[in-house]
Amino acid sequence: RALGYQQNRISREELAAFEGTTMDLGDILTYRIPGIRIKRDNVLMGLPYCIEFRGASGGSILRGRGTTDPGCNSPEVYLDGVLVSNPSSLYPSIPVETVESIEVIPPSEAGSRFGTGALWGAIVIESRRPGRPWSSNSQEEAPAAAARRFDWDLEPGNHPGGRVFLSALAANAAGVALGLALSNECIRFRNPGFDSIVSDCSGEGTMLAAAAGVAIPAVSAAAAARWAGDTDLSRGRFMAATIGAAVALIPGYAFLISSRRDGSGAVEAMGSVMLLIGAPFAVSVADRLFRSFR
């Protein structure tokens, strides 16, 4: 029993190993505690998600007092002794640096300690400074959150960078071709000698055509990279990879437009490199740096 207790508790020393990484509280729980799983309805970073004990998926009209999601059999969560009303929002938002320890009590034991409200177990979180109100907008904690990167020492193998880049390269090239084909249905140059672009579509159609030129290759490359970089423990964050691709695609298109206006071959080559090489490279870097545990 003593061994089981130790397995269900994460100390400050253990939590310190995850500081400065992309792992939030839910990722740490699923990585360190047997029997815990994450149920996500989206792939965006920072949005609420459900944590359950494995085997707690059976439907029931009884739910923990802190559970607001009818599709989530969430354990009750106590932060410094206070019941958290919406734990699904707490997991991705509380900084690991502010947590002193986490104790996970399985359903078989939680009822005797916390009553019938803990039907699906309980999670007890102690902060490093109990009683101090925490805000996700705290300027003091923002730099630490912004600097988080995934720690590959937690993985048994290295990041499959070559496979990720080649997959993103192929998907991005196909996406650029399709995006340009759709954009050209609306957008064209009036004359190569003029700094002017005209559209044969309505305002909404023009905006959609321009967005397609960026969104299609960005989403395609990000999806391919996420698939190619998937491991048994973690996967790349889709939104981070999509943003990385867009950051390279937008200036790439700008260079191409500029080259058509002034006929510069060097500028055109730079734009092509940004579109076809820069975007998949940015996606590959994002897939390595920004990941979440399965």
68-80 residue pLDDT tens: 555 778 889 999 8
Provide the pLDDT for residue 196.
Answer: 56
DSSP for the chain, please give it.
-HHHHHHTEE-HHHHHTTTTSS--HHHHHHHHSTTEEEE-S---TT---EEEETT--S--S---TT---TT--PPEEEETTEE-S-HHHHTTTS-GGGEEEEEEE-HHHHHHHH-GGGTT-EEEEEESSTT----TT-TTTHHHHHT----GGGSSS---HHHHHHHHHHHHHHHHHHHHHHHHTTEEES-TTSS-EEESS-HHHHHHHHHHHHHHHHHHHHHHHHHHT--SSEEE-HHHHHHHHHHHHHHHHHHHHHHHHH--HHHHHHHHHIIIIIHHHHHHHHHHHSEEE-
Q: What is the mean pLDDT of residues 247-265?
A: 81
- pLDDT higher for 161 or 156? 161
What are the CA-CA distances from residue 75 to residues 106, 107, 196, 222 (Å)?
9, 8, 60, 33
Provide the pLDDT for residue 134.
Answer: 46
Q: What is the mean pLDDT of residues 259-263?
A: 71
Angle between helices 161-184 and 203-228 (to 10 degrees): 160
pLDDT band for position 5 (cuts 50, 70, 90) = very low
Q: What is the mean pLDDT of residues 98-115?
A: 87
Distance CA 255, CA 272 (A): 8
Q: Is the confidence at residue 164, as pLDDT, over 90?
A: yes
Q: Is the confidence at residue 66, as pLDDT, over 60?
A: no
Distance CA 87, CA 123 (A): 10
Please provide the CATH number assigned to the domain covering 2-142: 2.170.130.10
- pLDDT higher for 62 or 164? 164
Give percent of the chain with pLDDT exceeding 90. Answer: 24
CB 44 within 8 A of CB 112: no
- pLDDT higher for 179 or 45? 179
Q: What is the mean pLDDT of residues 116-141?
A: 66
pLDDT band for position 140 (cuts 50, 70, 90) = very low
Distance CA 250, CA 194 (A): 21
Q: Is the confidence at residue 4, as pLDDT, over 70?
A: no
Provide the pLDDT for residue 287.
Answer: 92
Q: What is the mean pLDDT of residues 82-100?
A: 86
pLDDT band for position 57 (cuts 50, 70, 90) = low
pLDDT band for position 2 (cuts 50, 70, 90) = very low
Q: Is the confidence at residue 250, as pLDDT, over 60?
A: yes
pLDDT band for position 41 (cuts 50, 70, 90) = low
Verdict on whether the full-model pTM lies above 0.85: no
Q: Is the confidence at residue 232, as pLDDT, over 90?
A: no
- pLDDT higher for 143 or 70? 70
Provide the pLDDT for residue 234.
Answer: 81
| Tens digits of residue pLDDT in 9-27 | 899 998 988 888 778 888 8
Distance CA 224, CA 60 (A): 38
Distance CA 170, CA 166 (A): 6
Q: Where are the domains positioned within the chain?
A: 2-142, 161-293
| Tens digits of residue pLDDT in 171-195 | 999 999 998 888 777 776 555 555 5
CB 1 within 8 A of CB 14: no
Q: Is the confidence at residue 237, as pLDDT, over 90?
A: no
CB atoms within 10 A of CB 55: 11
* Maximum pairwise Cα distance, the chain: 80
